[in-house]
Structure 1
Amino acid sequence: MIKVTVTFNNHRKPQLSKFHQLYSENTQQQIIRETFHLVSKRDENVCKFLEGGLLIGEYDNKLISRPHVISYFVFCVGSSENEFGILDLI
């Protein structure tokens, strides 16, 4: 299940954010900040899948990201989702 979809540029400005569950505005901003921090510090040569941990309040989240020119596309999904299926969706 897709929980959060975020697209942001290299300057930490969200271009698009879609929350598929109900979160407060402060929680949404925190999720976007933490997502940018986790994804942007990774090297280009490493895997694009990482464990989300407590990002959205559950232990079974995964972050799947793909950089594209000046943007990052990030999906936060449950652990039962197929990572390669989501990466293909991006």
Structure 2
Amino acid sequence: MVKAIIIFSNHGKPWLSKFYQTYSEDTEQQIINEMFYLVSKRDENFLEGGFLTGGSDSKLIYRHYATLYIHIRF
């Protein structure tokens, strides 16, 4: 099940964020910031498990195009 779709710039500014689970605004912003921090320094296109990606059964798949990061959180 998809939990969120987030698109943001190379500087971490969110362009689009759609969460399919209910979170407070502060929590959503924290998730966006943590996702950017994690993936901006990586070359691979996915992360599995861990607290920041949503738990041990979650996956974070992302793609970096020119000036955008596109994330899908499962």
> Is the structural similarity TM-score above 0.5?
yes
Gaps of 5+ in 2: none
- Secondary structure of the 2:7 match is strand
More helix by share: 1
* Percent of pairs with identical residues: 55
Q: What TM-score do you get using the length of structure 2 for normalisation?
A: 0.91
SS, match of residue 11 in structure 1: coil
Q: State the shift of 1:57 in Å.
A: 4.9
Give 5+ residue unaligned stretches, structure 1. Answer: 78-90
For 1:15 and 1:49, locate their aligned partners in 2 and report how far apart those are by CA, in whole Å. 20
Separation in 1 of the partners of 2:16 and 2:49?
19
Matched, 1:72 2:69: yes
Kindly report which structure 2 residues correspond to 1:1-80, keeping only aligned pairs within 5 A, or say none.
1-43=1-43, 47-55=44-52, 57-77=54-74
Bigger radius of gyration, 1 or 2? 1
RMSD of Structure 2 on Structure 1 (CA): 1.3
Question: Does the 8 Å contact 1:6/1:75 carry over to 2?
Answer: yes
